[in-house]
Amino acid sequence: MTIPLFDEPEEVSGDAALAPLAERMRPQRLEDFVGQKHLIGIESGLRRTLANRGKLPSLILWGAPGTGKTTLARILAIESGKRFVQLSATFAGVKELRAAIVEAREMRRRGRDTIIFIDEIHRFNKSQQDALLPAVEDGTVTLIGATTENPSFEVTGALLSRSRVLALKPLSDEDVTLILRRAIDDEVKGIANLKPRLTDESLARLAQSSGGDARVALTALESAVEATPASADGEREVTNEILEEALGRARFAYDKGGEEHYNLASALIKSVRNSDANAALYWLARLIEGGADPIFIARRLCILASEDIGLADPHAITHAASAAHITHLIGLPEALYPLAQTTIYLARAPKSNLVKTAYFAAAEDARETARESVPLHLRNAITNLMRSQGYGKGYRYAHDDARARDEMTCLPDKLRDRKYVPDDER
Verify that 218 and 248 share a domain, yes or no. yes
Verify that 128 and 235 share a domain, yes or no. no
Verify that 44 and 115 share a domain, yes or no. yes
Q: Rounded to whole angstroms, how far apart are CA atoms 314 and 350?
A: 10
Judged by DSSP in three states, 285 sits in: helix
- Ranked by mean pLDDT, the top range of 102-116, 137-151, 236-250, 308-322 is 308-322
**Beta carbons of 326 and 338 less than 8 angstroms apart:** yes
Q: Rounded to whole angstroms, how far apart are CA atoms 312 and 306?
A: 10
Verify that 154 and 18 share a domain, yes or no. yes
How much of the chain exceeds pLDDT 90, in percent?
46
* Strand 59-62 versus strand 236-237 pairing type: unpaired
Instruction: Determine the pLDDT at residue 254.
Output: 57
pTM score, two decimals? 0.62
Verify that 135 and 163 share a domain, yes or no. yes
The string of DSSP codes covering 239-257 is -HHHHHHHH-HHHHH--TT
Instruction: Determine the pLDDT at residue 40.
Output: 86
Verify that 163 and 26 share a domain, yes or no. yes
Confidence tier at 14 by pLDDT (50, 70, 90): very low
AA letter at 113 = D
∠ CA 218-154-321, rounded to 5°: 85
CATH code, 322: 1.20.272.10
CATH code, 230: 1.10.8.60
**Beta carbons of 12 and 189 less than 8 angstroms apart:** yes
- pLDDT tens digit sequence for 231-260: 999 999 998 889 888 877 556 655 565 667
Helices (H), 349-420: 354-368, 384-388, 404-407
Q: Rounded to whole angstroms, how far apart are CA atoms 159 and 162?
A: 5
* Strand 114-119 versus strand 236-237 pairing type: unpaired
**Beta carbons of 36 and 212 less than 8 angstroms apart:** no
- pLDDT tens digit sequence for 335-394: 999 999 999 999 999 999 999 999 999 999 998 888 888 888 888 888 888 888 889 888
In a domain, 5, yes or no: no
Verify that 75 and 121 share a domain, yes or no. yes
Q: How far is CA 320 from CA 43, 71, 354, 366, in A?
A: 40, 36, 18, 30
The domain in which residue 283 lies consists of: 259-348
User: Which of 323, 348, 373 is the last residue before a domain boundary?
Assistant: 348
In a domain, 138, yes or no: yes
User: Which of 138, 167, 196 is the last residue before a domain boundary?
Assistant: 167
Q: How many domains does the chain have?
A: 3
Q: 27-36 burial, b if ≥16 CB within 10 A, otherwise e?
A: bbebeebbbb
Verify that 37 and 142 share a domain, yes or no. yes
Average pLDDT over the chain, rounded to an integer: 87
User: Which of 253, 279, 297 is the last residue before a domain boundary?
Assistant: 253
Instruction: Determine the pLDDT at residue 6.
Output: 39
Q: Is the pLDDT of residue 265 over 80?
A: yes
